[in-house]
Amino acid sequence: MRPDIEQHLLSKISNLPELKTTVSNWQQQGLKVVFTNGCFDLLHTGHITYLAKAAEMGDKLILGLNADASVKRLKGESRPVNPQDSRALLLAALFFIDAVVLFEEDTPHNLITILLPDLLVKGGDYTIDNIVGASEVIANGGEVKTINFVEGYSSTSIIQKIKGQLA
């Protein structure tokens, strides 16, 4: 990988204190900051479509990425397939993602409470009343929205398909 590209990708992967400063700067510039989160274990068309739609809703897109321990607790012992550093780098390579931040907890509540994005986005399988961090974002003057999923795509179904073909 060219050093300038590698450095650019790595610069998009932030820790929480750095990202808080960056988000504050973006917001002071009048930029609309969007936040979403997930495991993104095996990146697929459904993920890309969802993330692109989230990015279109604002000026900057932050992705909260479940760390390996969190994915394992949420998805089971065989997950994640790809380790957190690989997943973070892959997501940072998407031009419409401006920052990736890992979190160890089962939910991004702490991230959302600290970053206070202008818009919190989740998939259509959620309702606003069960989106973690929604009340904090709304209380801060922000919005919460959902995006419909592209049917037929999931990391779990891809894994099941691979296992079926390998068996």
Tens digit of each residue's pLDDT (9 = 90 or more) over 95-109: 999 999 999 999 999
Question: CATH number for the domain including 81?
Answer: 3.40.50.620
Measured N-to-C along each axis, helices 84-92 and 3-11 cross at an angle, to the nearest 10 degrees, of: 100
Neighbours of 87 (CB within 10 A): 26
Q: What is the mean pLDDT of the chain?
A: 91
Tell me, what amino acid is at 157?
A: S
**In this predicted structure, what is the pLDDT of residue 6?**
87
Could you read off the pLDDT of 48-75 as tens digits, one per residue?
999 999 999 999 999 999 999 999 999 8
| 59: its two tokens | 């000026």
| Nearest CA-CA partner of 149 in 12, 38, 32 | 38
| 123: its two tokens | 């998939």
Residues 58 and 98 sit within 8 Å (Cβ to Cβ): no
Is residue 143 exposed (0-12), middle (13-18) or buried (19+ Cβ within 10 Å)?
Answer: middle
Q: Where in the sequence is the domain holding 160, given as residue range(s)?
A: 3-166
Residues 143 and 118 sit within 8 Å (Cβ to Cβ): yes
**In this predicted structure, what is the pLDDT of residue 157?**
64
35: phi then psi, degrees, rounded to nearest 5 = -125, 135
Total domain count, the chain: 1
CA atoms within 13 A on the CB side of 117: 32
In the chain, the N- to C-terminal Cα span, in Å, equals 35
